[in-house]
A = this chain, B = another copy of it.
Amino acid sequence: MATTETAARSDHGAAGKILRIGIIGLGQASGLVLNWERQDIRTLPIRFTAAADLRREALDQFAKEYDAEVYTDVEEMCRSPNVDAVYIASPHELHMEHTIIAARNGKHVLCEKPLSLSAGEVDAMIKACDDNGVSLIAAHSHAMDAPIRAMREVIASGRLGPLRHINALNYNFFNAQPWPSRELQMWHGDLYNQGPHQMDIIRYLGGGMVKSVRAHMWWDHLRDVEGGYSAYIEFENGAAANALFDWRGYFDSTCYTFGASEGGWAQDPGSCGFVRNNMTKLLAEKSPDEAEAELWKLKNDLRYGGVSDLNAFQHWGYAPVSEGFEPFPEPVQPFFGLIIAACDRGIIRQSVKGLYVHGDDGVEEIEVTGHSGRAAEFMQVYDAVFNDTPSFHDGRWGKGTVELCQAIEQSAKEGRAVDLKYQVPVGDEPA
């Protein structure tokens, strides 16, 4: 089995340098980073040196746990000389404001998805970072996962000839997780929350330059918001992609990904039904206001400084519920649904350890190393700051992905293909 060197460089600090990160918003994403993904992130040459939030108990816990500065004011934190870059994990509607504050104070920015729900706001964020000479990197994206980077490397290398087609499908239970209705409505179901993962992966594998998209969407009657989309995506280079994403919780497609979740954990097949059943009961038994309050409570459980116990994780489908379910001894590579890329001379798909490359000489499994998830993203900031290696996944890229999600919605609404105009290339192909 071959081993790819994907991002091996990122495993080592540049001459022992440490990137000092200030966190804006100790909410759910930060909870995942600081609790759930902690083991992987602790190995990186980064330190969390500051945090800003409004919740006193979260700040206290953070100060104690990380021996770090804490602030209730974002601007004040951004003036700290002990912060090189900020990780923006505040509510979506504040992403632009916080990015601009950070940029004006000379801090590099890693901003959680979506950068914004409006392409115009993204322009303002890009301009602020450009004007102040700092990096803007769009997080969180499974396109930066190690196996997807390795898949792109095989495609861009040209060893299998030109890419012809990408097949992407994902059936999960996002809408059935205890997201408050207000948030689901803002994200149009999962379109602007996890939709960017799938669109990022497709754009990245296809080289970035989407030409047009034709899409349909459907409704989730349980949450009374968007329930999924199908899309046919055409690239300027002649490749095409079939995309399907259904997040209503009827069915969990981890059965097609070796049982592995988007984090590389063993996904209990029972979680999907468990989570959806909980949501059905909750909405049936409570008034809309009571239900919404309960959902905020359940969401708070996952925030940094929240409950974070087994029961809370089960409610979100993050911890097994089935009797006798066997978790993996350790995480495998992450799978954001099924992704299969067809080139002129072969087909590439993910394996538990990395990739299967099916070519003219048979199948080769490539073991993939390097970080995935948010650990990979912190290292993209690191490389941008210390190794003079800008990430393809910058503000302009993020804008292109928001544009694609908007085009899916527009196409579904107007019943016609929609052309794109803000797409940017990955820029990794041999000249």
A binding-site residues for B, Cβ under 8 Å = 164-165, 167, 169, 171, 214, 216, 218-219, 221-222, 228, 230, 232, 234, 238-244, 246, 250-251, 256, 273, 277, 280, 338, 340, 342, 344-347, 349, 356, 358-360, 362-363, 417
Chain B residues with Cβ below 8 Å from A362 are: 273, 277
Q: Is the beta-carbon distance between B230 and A216 smaller than 8 angstroms?
A: no
Shortest Cβ distance from residue A217 to the other chain B in the assembled complex, whole angstroms: 9
List B contacts of A344 (CB < 8 A): 218-219, 221
Docked pose: A407 CA to B164 CA in angstroms: 19
A242 touches which one: B244, B342, B360 (CB < 8 A)?
A: B244
Cα A164 to Cα B227 in complex, Å, equals 11
Whether the Cβ atoms of B256 and A242 lie closer than 8 Å is no
* Nearest 5 pairs of A and B residues by beta carbon: A232-B232, A242-B242, A164-B218, A250-B358, A216-B240
- Chain B residue contacts of A221, Cβ below 8 A: 344-345
A277 to B241, CA, bound (A): 28
Extra contacts besides A165-B244, A250-B346, A251-B358 (6): CB < 8 Å? A164-B218, A165-B230, A214-B214, A230-B232, A230-B241, A277-B362
Which residues of the other chain, B, contact A240 by a CB distance below 8 angstroms? 216, 230
What chain B residues lie within 8 Å of A356 (beta carbons)?
251
CA–CA, A241 to B216, complex, Å? 10
**Measured CA separation A250–B341 after assembly (Å):** 11
Q: Are A169 and B167 also in contact (CB < 8 A) when A242-B232, A280-B360, A345-B221 are?
A: yes
Report B-chain residues with C-beta under 8 Å of the C-beta of A167.
169, 230, 244
CA distance A362 to B270 in the complex (A): 11
Question: A255: nearest residue on chain B (CB-CB)?
Answer: B256
CB<8 Å pairs between A and B, sample of 18: A165-B216, A165-B230, A165-B244, A167-B169, A167-B244, A169-B169, A214-B214, A214-B417, A221-B345, A230-B241, A230-B242, A232-B232, A242-B243, A242-B244, A246-B347, A251-B358, A256-B338, A273-B362
Report the bound CA distance from A359 to B356 in whole Å: 34
Chain B nearest CB, measured from A360 CB (Å): 7
Given contacts A242-B242, A345-B221, contact A228 B171 (CB under 8 A): no
Q: A218 contacts which chain B residues (CB < 8 A)?
A: 164-165, 342, 344
Is the pair A251, B214 in contact by a Cβ cutoff of 8 Å?
A: no
Assuming A346-B250, A347-B251, A417-B417, is B222 touching A360 (CB within 8 A)? yes
Complexed CA–CA distance, A245 and B29 (Å): 38
Residues in B with CB closer than 8 Å to A346 are 250
Q: Chain B residues near A239 (CB, 8 Å)? A: 216
On whether A228 and B360 interact (CB within 8 A), knowing A246-B347, A250-B347, the answer reads no
Distance, CA A218 to CA B363, complexed state (A)? 20
A213 to chain B, nearest CB (A): 10
Nearest B residue to A238 via CB reads B216
Distance in angstroms between the alpha carbons of A318 and B328 in the assembled complex:
35
Tell me, rounded to whole Å, the shortest Cβ–Cβ distance linking A364 to chain B: 12
Q: How far is B183's CA from A36's CA once the two chains are assembled, in angstroms?
A: 57
CA distance A146 to B169 in the complex (A): 25
For A417, the chain B residues whose CB sits under 8 A away are 214, 417
